[in-house]
Structure 1
Amino acid sequence: MRSEGSRPEPRSRVDVLVIGGGNAALCAAISARREGASVLVLESADAFWRGGNTRHTRNMRCAHDSATEILTGPYTEEEFFEDLLRVTGGRTDEDLARHMIRESKAMLTWIAEQGVRWQPSLGGTLSLGRTNSFFLGGGRAMLNALYATAGRLGVEVRYEAEVTDLAIEDGHFLAATLRSGERIEAGTLVAAAGGFESNIDWLKRYWGEAADNFLIRGTRNNTGAILRLLLDKGVQKVGDPTQCHAVAIDARAPKYDGGIITRLDCVVFGIVVNKHAERFYDEGEDIWPKRYAIWGRLVAAQPDQIAYVVFDARSLELFMPSLYPPIRAETIPALAEALGLDPEALDRTVAAFNAAVRPGTFDDTILDDCRTEGLTPPKSHWARRIETGPFYAYPVRPGITFTYLGTRVNRDARMIMADGRPSANMFAAGEIMAGNVLGQGYAAGIGMTIGAVFGRIAGREAARHARN
């Protein structure tokens, strides 16, 4: 197995054992090490694939009181919480959510102190210039900076270190066993190993055969093995197993690790139809950063879990393009044939939509007055007639980023046992506990907020517990 940084001698006991290798895990490891604890990080992937879903991220949503060099204006704690309430429909632990949002204000500085660099938002990135801070170089550069800092601090990192068992007695963590048979004891445990989105069999328990058509945007390593061990050994679960961060991504994307470049942000600029060429949801319901993550679940509910985003030449350059080019045709019937749809059915759907569009002033940065009338489902905003050729379409499937079933925690990121008692020495951060904050829905960048904030807290509290 390989180690990072100063490469200390492998040891079988440490103060803080961190399982996982992404944003949450590294924030926990660095935080614990800065508290003086000895820290070992176990990453199941090899060095190239390290970092889980963090590799594919671009930004983090943090509250802040004023504009900065990289943010165009203030984003108050209350506005952040109102946005969270809106996207979750109120399904959130308010105390934990407000605690996270309050702590997020310090993350912009803290993360930079760990070597991560920020940049202003790019054009076509969901209009996030005021609310979200973008990593210079993206998620992989952010990860590299965190790993470098962890190495300099003396954190030991082992790759291809798959944990197969956890010794837990009466809510007290004792040791982890690796596939190699090695047993590692630790004063405290921080679980930051992600959800179960790449475990298709587990997804099928809740989604049935439809899960076979899901594409996994991130790592194939998030099988939920650590989550399963924790729940089986008495940690209280939180979250709906059918809820997840699921977006519409290009149907031509690979099964795993397609990442950000396969996401499609063009829904608001056209219409979305299923395999029968029928619309099924309001494409203009709300500002895109607050609604883009509902589209994976919507497509998952359609026949064969496939849909098509249809738009015209006026919209082609209004969004960040996918890795794959759109399918193009000179007429709507020709576009339908290229997509394998019924040409007459798609022509009828587009004609009905065009007839329902009412005049307005188009502005995709606000809830504009371009809407349909007398159409079911409606398009509430950004409705423009699809009439300027050539015409384009993207085929889309559900792209699962991470699942919301997880471990319940308190404000100290300490896991709660099934009987309601806080664990003696087990903490969790990141996707494995995201269901505490995200009962449903998603707002752009909040997954990184959950990971960084609770990672920092978990590492700090784990170190203090271990040293005491």
Structure 2
Amino acid sequence: MFDVVVVGGGNAALCAALTARESGASVLLLEAAPREWRGGNSQHTRNLRCMHDVPQDVLVDSYPEEEFWQDLVKVTGGLTNECLARIVIRASSTCRGWMKKQGVHFQPPLSGALHVARTNAFFMGGGKALINAYYRSAEKMGVVIRYSSPVDSLELQNGQFVAVRIGGQRIAARACVLAAGGFESNSDWLREAWGQNASGEWPADNFLIRGTRFNQGVLLKFMMGAGADVIGDPSQSHCVAIDARAPLYDGGICTRVDCVSLGVVLNRDGQRFYDEGEDFWPKRYAIWGRLVAQQPGQIGYSIIDSKAIGRFMPPVFPGEKAYSLQELAVKLGLPSEQFVATLKAYNRACQPGTFDHTVLDDCHTQGLTPAKTHWALPIDTPPFYGYALRPGITFTYLGLKVNEQAAVHFAGQPSRNLFVAGEMMAGNVLGKGYTAGVGMSIGTAFGRIAGHHAALAAQREAEYATA
């Protein structure tokens, strides 16, 4: 019998498995995906958000705890558990040394991401390299790894873990960590969560999934049915406006369109619907998927001119290009008259100022609804570019309620040997909204916490058995 079984194969699961093994436990890791697709959504990540009081290798200046906390409060609108959030924040200041011991390497951010050089540490080679390093470390340490092993249920007894089940196979262990992701790849569940809008549309039918196809929410649904305490709104998620030409699954980071704050965004009727310059892009990019999801047909269009080129990380797919606004409207399939009228009204409303995309500058609109509060430059210099946008779901926030030890709760009581980490509990910290890199901070912090306490629980269970 294994001491600890970890269900999942992404960042949080691997952090749990490695930590439990370091603590002396025998560990089995069960990954639903085949080996070539291992890693869940973590394979598509680039960085994690890190608190630090002084400059540290790839991190410049400082990013103290209180600033990190205020950033989180702002994006979540206060829908966060402060105690658990501060655990994540403090853990983010010390985790990189441990990560380096597992073979993870860091690099300074690329030029298109310099605005997060102070707050985020970037993985050399991205999320795929991070995942590969963790798997190599796990194998060297003796963690037993099984691929293509989707756990569909648990055997529980009075809120305590007994065994996992993969179809008809039963695997007992002394403790368990659940880190199997959210339900973003389950189209039926997304449809149910979002429902119909006033126009009779089912918004989720037009969603694209930025990450793994294997996050079906099977274990989350099982745990809800088993009476585990849950937290979060099923319609809330890390939801980004991505290129409408992206694949249904696994488009990853390269499908993001990062020029939103440098231009305007229109819906299919050729009208603006939100302030594109509300705040820095890393603090606002993850609200735009939800905003687009609330528009007719769940589609939007990011419009820029040649002045924006070179000021953002270019997407993998080129946008539509035209030398007049009328021509661009036709190429995008938008109503030309309304399109041009919207752009002209925006241009007239832009006030003179000093443009600086590295600060909250004084370039804003006046007498326009919705306003653009920063980085408002007229769109008047051809060629013009347009990118069609769809909602891209990264991960969902509905999850299991936890405490400081990452324990799963039943009727308010923590289980003594069942723990949860990563997307399956991120809703404790992220009630809504997102800021770049915080998902990896949550997964790393609570993965290690869950692994540590699972190892302790397994030791207790072994002692009980021999007493």
Query: What TM-score bracket applies, with the shorter chain setting the length?
Result: over 0.9
Partner amino acid for 2:420? Answer: A
Deviations 1:25-76 (A, max 9, x none): 0000000000000000000000010001001000000111111220111111
Instruction: Report deviation, 1:126.
Output: 6.5
Correspondence 1:83 to 2:71: yes
2:189 corresponds, among 199, 202, 205, to 202
State the secondary structure of the residue aligned to 2:152.
Answer: strand
| Distance (Å, rounded) in 2 between the aligned partners of 1:207 and 1:84 | 24
* Aligned ranges 1:4-43 → 2 under 5 Å: 13-43=1-31
Correspondence 1:99 to 2:79: no
1:188 corresponds, among 167, 171, 175, to 175
Instruction: Report deviation, 1:378.
Output: 0.2
State the secondary structure of the residue aligned to 1:124.
Answer: helix
Correspondence 1:178 to 2:166: yes
Instruction: Report deviation, 1:112.
Output: 1.1
Q: 1:158 maps to which residue?
A: 146
Contact 1:126 1:289 in 2 (8 A): no
| Distance (Å, rounded) in 2 between the aligned partners of 1:54 and 1:65 | 27
Q: 2:110 maps to which residue?
A: 122
Correspondence 1:321 to 2:314: yes
State the secondary structure of the residue aligned to 1:48.
Answer: helix
State the secondary structure of the residue aligned to 1:401.
Answer: strand
Q: 1:46 maps to which residue?
A: 34
Partner amino acid for 1:349? Answer: T
Instruction: Report deviation, 1:224.
Output: 0.3
Partner amino acid for 1:304? Answer: G
| Distance (Å, rounded) in 1 between the aligned partners of 2:113 and 2:246 | 20
Number of residue pairs matched by the alignment: 454
Correspondence 1:442 to 2:434: yes
| Distance (Å, rounded) in 1 between the aligned partners of 2:350 and 2:285 | 22
Which of structure 1's runs of 4+ aligned residues deviate more than 3 A?
none
| Distance (Å, rounded) in 2 between the aligned partners of 1:467 and 1:425 | 10
Partner amino acid for 1:336? Answer: A
Q: 1:233 maps to which residue?
A: 226
Contact 1:126 1:288 in 2 (8 A): no
| Distance (Å, rounded) in 1 between the aligned partners of 2:148 and 2:206 | 28
State the secondary structure of the residue aligned to 1:195.
Answer: coil
2:123 corresponds, among 114, 135, 138, to 135
1:391 corresponds, among 384, 389, 392, to 384
Larger deviation, residues 105-114 vs 394-403 = 105-114
State the secondary structure of the residue aligned to 2:395.
Answer: strand
Partner amino acid for 1:460? Answer: H
| Distance (Å, rounded) in 1 between the aligned partners of 2:96 and 2:332 | 44
Instruction: Report deviation, 1:433.
Output: 0.3
* Aligned ranges 1:307-386 → 2 under 5 Å: 307-386=300-379
| Distance (Å, rounded) in 1 between the aligned partners of 2:13 and 2:185 | 19
Q: 2:289 maps to which residue?
A: 296
Deviations 1:150-175 (A, max 9, x none): 00000001000011221111110111
| Distance (Å, rounded) in 2 between the aligned partners of 1:24 and 1:330 | 48
Give the TM-score, by structure 1 length.
Answer: 0.96
Partner amino acid for 2:40? Answer: G
Deviations 1:232-254 (A, max 9, x none): 11210011111100010000000
Correspondence 1:112 to 2:100: yes
Identify unmatched segments of 5+ residues in structure 1.
Answer: 1-12
Instruction: Report deviation, 1:461.
Output: 0.6
Q: 1:451 maps to which residue?
A: 443
Larger deviation, residues 215-224 vs 119-128 = 119-128
| Distance (Å, rounded) in 2 between the aligned partners of 1:65 and 1:143 | 28
Partner amino acid for 2:66? Answer: E
Q: 1:7 maps to which residue?
A: none
Instruction: Report deviation, 1:424.
Output: 2.0
Q: 1:426 maps to which residue?
A: 418
Partner amino acid for 1:386? Answer: I
| Distance (Å, rounded) in 1 between the aligned partners of 2:39 and 2:234 | 23
2:409 corresponds, among 416, 422, 440, to 416
Percent of aligned pairs with the same amino acid? 57
Identify unmatched segments of 5+ residues in structure 2.
Answer: 196-201, 461-467
Deviations 1:85-121 (A, max 9, x none): 0110111001111111112211121111111000001
* Aligned ranges 1:238-317 → 2 under 5 Å: 238-317=231-310
| Distance (Å, rounded) in 2 between the aligned partners of 1:211 and 1:185 | 37
Deviations 1:256-278 (A, max 9, x none): 10000001111000000000000
2:137 corresponds, among 149, 155, 158, to 149
Instruction: Report deviation, 1:125.
Output: 2.0
